[in-house]
């Protein structure tokens, strides 16, 4: 078709007003220019808007199909953390300030179900990972979940001072036999360790607020079950649970100030009472449906404490620690990021490869001969746009999935209430948006290096999807490294369930838990983006356009 102008006349080619003459235009102009490019192709806008829709939709489906398990117990600690609080406690009351001292003569861990197939080293694995605990405790009564502070020996982890389930302080790296002492001054609890009962080494101090005037103090033993990952079948994981018991021998448990309580017969065990604290007892009470938890026959408690002179032998099971859960509600709500990512990757790649395909890059580089600046501007525009999309979609997905997960049984204390401004939730949302932005920049850079859309998109998608498929099939260690070194590592930033050093952690690599530090995986993705950008910048300067 013809242009609608008359052929022979044309208006002046001069400008009506002056154009800016001197000086290099600021980088902001270049950003504006690239933003105009991005927003002015309607197909890209549609693709970009598909991303939040996918993120929300997939989050919705995941939430709808999720089901919270039936917890063994719903006891929570003083700060609301879901905890296990089961141990064998020999105690007596202490009113006001004072201290309790004992010598832990020996501890012995046993698997309560003997292993027939002993040759596979499972027993050693359990012994290595289990934090059995024997020591002294100060506790606000015997109610499971109540406040406490305790000093203990833990085979392989030395002397520890722990309080209120989540606090864990490492003391001297010694094991039994050793002397331990716990002193109370108001709400300050201090721990000491000694090899001879004469010279004492401080092993830490904690503050336990709101501890009542009278507390129960004395020796305790706990022995958690070991949980090991079984052989992996393709895509499925089996966990094996190995219950343990720990037998500890305490010598001369003494209370200062000594107060003769009740009838003083002069025997060492006078005044000490023997109890098992158990958060799971009585929990399984009211609405147990018929046939539910068939393997959960109420376990017989450990044998009672035995006194031989001033020697006390105590057998314990259970643990005093935060409970772990496999499901992370926040991570669940943000699952859709994977789906939305695909649309974002496509646009990021096309943003540069279409310029190559159509020779438009020459127009771009005649307008802005400093090529590095152009690519950096493109990366910033693509990064910022994907970041904002990720942020908005993440917030929306979480808010939409919140009531659904509630309905599906994700309730406190197992799944604590959360709000968008919780630091961990905020980190998950911002981090997810950051991972999307970093992968978009990586895609753009790869598109620049390869100059072909199909190849670049394929590589990025393979790098994101394949590790997750392979991680499920590979041996755990290999799968772990694969997930650590590939872009999906970034999604470990979505973890909001806290991890405790004193609680062994089961990690299925493809679940995005390969880094303990949530930001570490994000750094890996940023590494991909930065290295590829550097290569792209180098090639861009070197190549003819």
Partner 1 sequence: MTESPPRSGVTIEVRGLRKRYRSTVAVDDLSFTVEPGMVTGFVGPNGAGKSTTMRIILGLDAADEGSALVGGRPYRVLDRPLRTVGALLDAAAVHPGRSARNHLLWLAQSNAIPRRRVDEVLDLAGLATVAKRNVGGFSLGMRQRLGIAAALLGDPAVVIFDEPINGLDIEGIQWIRSLLRSLAGEGRAVLVSSHLMSELEDTADHLLVIGRGRLLADTSVRELVTTASGDRVAVRTGMRTEAMTTLANAGALATITDGETVTVSGLPVEHVIELLTRDGVAFTGVSAHRASLEEAYMELTRDAVEFGAAAGREG
- Sites of contact with partner 1 (CB under 8 A): 1-5, 7-17, 19-26, 29-30, 32-34, 36-37, 40-44, 354, 358-360, 362-370, 544-545
Q: Which residues pair with 50 in a beta bridge?
A: none
- Measured in whole angstroms, the distance separating CA 200 from the mean position of its chain's CA atoms is 37
Q: How many CB atoms lie within 10 A of CB 540?
A: 19
E strand or H helix at 84, and its extent? strand 83-85
Radius of gyration of the chain measured on its C-alpha atoms: 31
Residues near 198 by Cβ (< 8 Å), separated by ≥ 6?
none
Least distance in angstroms from the C-beta of 52 to partner 1:
21
Least distance in angstroms from the C-beta of 38 to partner 1:
9
Contact yes or no for 325/414 (Cβ under 8 A): yes
Q: Which is nearer to partner 1, 90 or 374 (CB)?
A: 374
Least distance in angstroms from the C-beta of 43 to partner 1:
5
Q: Residues, the chain, total?
A: 545
Q: Which is nearer to partner 1, 236 or 366 (CB)?
A: 366
Q: Which is nearer to partner 1, 39 or 128 (CB)?
A: 39
Q: Which is nearer to partner 1, 15 or 116 (CB)?
A: 15
Q: Which is nearer to partner 1, 22 or 198 (CB)?
A: 22
Q: How far apart are CA 124 and CA 145, in angstroms?
A: 31
DSSP 18: P
Terminal CA-to-CA distance of the chain, rounded, Å? 31
Pinpoint the alpha helices (H) of 66-203: 122-129
For residue 420, the SS3 value is: coil
For residue 537, the SS3 value is: helix
Least distance in angstroms from the C-beta of 530 to partner 1:
25
Least distance in angstroms from the C-beta of 50 to partner 1:
16
Least distance in angstroms from the C-beta of 520 to partner 1:
38
Q: Which residues pair with 170 in a beta bridge?
A: 160
Q: Which is nearer to partner 1, 14 or 121 (CB)?
A: 14
- C-alpha to C-alpha distances, 121 to 127, 225, 239, 413, nearest whole angstrom: 10, 16, 16, 36
Least distance in angstroms from the C-beta of 457 to partner 1:
18
Q: Which is nearer to partner 1, 276 or 355 (CB)?
A: 355
Q: Which is nearer to partner 1, 4 or 266 (CB)?
A: 4
Least distance in angstroms from the C-beta of 15 to partner 1:
5
């Amino acid at each position: 078709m013809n242009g609608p102008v008359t052929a022979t006349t044309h208006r002046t080619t001069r400008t009506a007003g002056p154009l800016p003459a001197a000086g290099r235009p600021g980088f902001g102009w270049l950003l504006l220019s690239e933003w105009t490019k991005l927003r002015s192709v309607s197909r890209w806008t549609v693709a970009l808007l598909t991303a939040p829709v996918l993120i929300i939709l997939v989050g919705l489906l995941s939430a709808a199909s999720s089901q919270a398990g039936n917890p063994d117990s719903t006891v929570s600690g003083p700060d609301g953390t879901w905890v296990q609080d089961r141990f064998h406690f020999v105690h007596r009351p202490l009113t006001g300030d004072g201290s309790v001292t004992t010598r832990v003569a020996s501890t012995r861990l046993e698997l309560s179900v003997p292993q027939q197939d002993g040759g596979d080293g499972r027993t050693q694995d359990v012994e290595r990972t289990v934090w059995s605990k024997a020591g002294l405790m100060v506790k606000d009564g015997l109610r499971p979940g109540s406040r406490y502070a305790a000093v203990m020996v833990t085979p392989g982890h030395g002397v520890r001072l722990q309080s209120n389930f989540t606090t864990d302080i490492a003391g001297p790296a010694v094991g039994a036999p050793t002397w331990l002492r716990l002193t109370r001054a108001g709400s300050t609890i201090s721990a000491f360790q000694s090899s001879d009962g004469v010279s004492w080494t401080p092993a830490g101090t904690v503050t336990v607020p709101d501890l009542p005037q009278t507390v129960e103090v004395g020796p305790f033993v706990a022995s958690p079950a070991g949980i090991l990952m079984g052989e992996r079948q393709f895509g499925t994981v089996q966990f094996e649970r190995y219950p343990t018991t720990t037998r500890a021998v305490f010598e001369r448990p003494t209370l200062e100030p000594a107060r003769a309580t009740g009838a003083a017969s002069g025997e060492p065990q006078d005044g000490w009472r023997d109890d098992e604290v158990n958060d799971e007892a009585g929990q399984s009470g009211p609405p147990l449906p018929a046939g539910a938890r068939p393997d959960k026959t109420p376990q017989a408690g450990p044998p009672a404490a035995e006194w031989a002179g001033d020697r006390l032998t105590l057998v314990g099971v259970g643990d005093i620690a935060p409970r772990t859960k496999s499901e992370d509600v926040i991570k669940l709500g943000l699952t859709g990021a994977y789906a939305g990512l695909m649309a974002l990757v496509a646009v990021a790649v096309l943003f540069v490869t279409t310029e190559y395909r159509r020779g438009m890059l020459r127009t771009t580089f005649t307008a802005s001969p400093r090529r590095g600046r152009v690519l950096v501007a493109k990366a910033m525009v693509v990064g910022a746009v994907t970041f904002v999309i990720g942020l908005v979609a993440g917030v929306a997905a979480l808010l939409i999935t919140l009531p659904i997960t509630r309905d599906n049984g994700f309730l406190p204390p197992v799944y604590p209430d959360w709000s968008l401004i919780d630091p961990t939730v905020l980190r998950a949302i911002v981090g997810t948006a950051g991972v999307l932005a970093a992968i978009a920049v990586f895609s753009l850079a790869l598109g620049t290096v390869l100059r072909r859309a199909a190849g670049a998109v394929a590589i990025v998608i393979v790098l994101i999807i394949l590790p997750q498929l392979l991680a499920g099939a590979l041996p755990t260690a290999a799968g772990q490294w694969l997930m650590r070194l590939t872009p999906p590592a970034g999604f470990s930033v979505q973890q909001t369930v806290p991890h405790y050093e004193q609680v062994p952690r089961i990690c299925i690599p493809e679940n995005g838990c390969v880094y303990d530090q949530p930001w570490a995986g994000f750094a890996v993705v940023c590494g991909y983006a930065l290295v590829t950008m550097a290569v792209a910048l180098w090639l861009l300067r070197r190549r003819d356009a």
